[in-house]
Homo-oligomer: A and B are copies of this chain.
Amino acid sequence: METTTRKVIKNRVAFLEQKVPGYVSVLGITGILLLWELVCRLNIVPPLFLPAPTAIVTDGWELISSGELLKNLIASLYRIFGGYAIGAIFGITVGLILGFSKWADAIFTPIVYSIYPIPKIALLPLIILWFGIGEMPKIAIIALGVFFPVLINTFSGVKNVDPSLIKAAVTFGASHVSVIRKVILPGALPTIFAGLKLAAGTALLLLVSAEMIAAEYGIGAMVLHYGNLMITTKLMAGVLILSLLGLTFNRGLQWLERKLIPWK
């Protein structure tokens, strides 16, 4: 008589589904902050090299309450919004033109692609020569940094609109203007937004670099100022504020995206 053995089948991909409780993240961040604070309190690392989180927050608060932060923030915001708006508007416009006109495409796209890899900050000296050392060059460098990714995304957004949508529109009698307005523009919008989001990071980076080179006020100038003075807690507070600025900028764009592209 044969004996039969039973082999129960077990889930061999259980490891993929392993769950980590939600509080771990919170605990993780808290733990790291506590550890950091402890390292500083016990003077394992000198406070000059690594200021304690509480010290950073305290100094950050001081920057806020003394109005110093506001002054610098306003200077930076003015530049970043100005530059971003100019760069984005031009980028979208030129991107649309290149996307729609095959002639413009053939002539200008190679030029765009050869200017694109230049780190825009290298043009700052030139821009200072052209525009002087006031607000203009800072706004211009940000605009330039924003212009290219937005242009290229707009262009590729227009080029990559699903051709079957265009064909459908044409079959249902849409005119050229209608196709552009009702199909190509909304179809390119998600890609344009991707460009705008990419450009936000670049804008912030260029802002800080530009302010480091010739500015009295601004978050970048402030960070460099405290770096020069070796007041590291305030420097870190400035960096913290930059991180928040970046986060807010990104969130704002995400919010706008959800508003403008509800169908995604």
Contact = CB atoms under 8 A, between A and B. Distances in A.
Interface of A: 12-13, 15-16, 18-20, 24-25, 27-29, 31-32, 48-49, 102-103, 105-111, 114-126, 128-130, 163, 166-167, 170-171, 176, 201-202, 204-205, 207-209, 212-213, 219-220, 223-224, 226-228, 230, 232, 235-236, 238-239, 242-243, 245-247, 249-250
Given A126-B236, A129-B232, A209-B212, 7 more contacts: A18-B102, A29-B111, A114-B243, A117-B242, A117-B245, A205-B205, A212-B213
A86 to B, nearest CB: 19
Nearest to A48: B129
A122 B238 contact: yes
Given A20-B106, A118-B242, A129-B232, A124 B247 contact: no
Contacts of A129: 48-49, 227, 230, 232
19 contacts: A13-B167, A15-B176, A20-B106, A25-B110, A27-B107, A28-B106, A29-B111, A114-B243, A115-B243, A116-B246, A117-B201, A117-B242, A118-B243, A119-B201, A119-B242, A122-B242, A125-B223, A126-B239, A212-B213
Q: Top 9 A-B pairs ranked by shortest CB distance?
A: A125-B227, A117-B246, A28-B107, A119-B205, A24-B106, A209-B209, A20-B106, A118-B243, A119-B208
A202 B19 CA distance: 35
A205 B153 CA distance: 20
Contact of A122 (B12, B117, B208): B208
Contacts of A249: 117
A122 B18 contact: no
Contacts of A167: 13
A250 B117 contact: yes
A125 B243 contact: no
A121 to B, nearest CB: 5
A205 to B, nearest CB: 4
Select the residue from A20, A118, A124, A238 with max chain B CB neighbours within 10 A. A118
A126 to B, nearest CB: 6
A212 B119 CA distance: 12
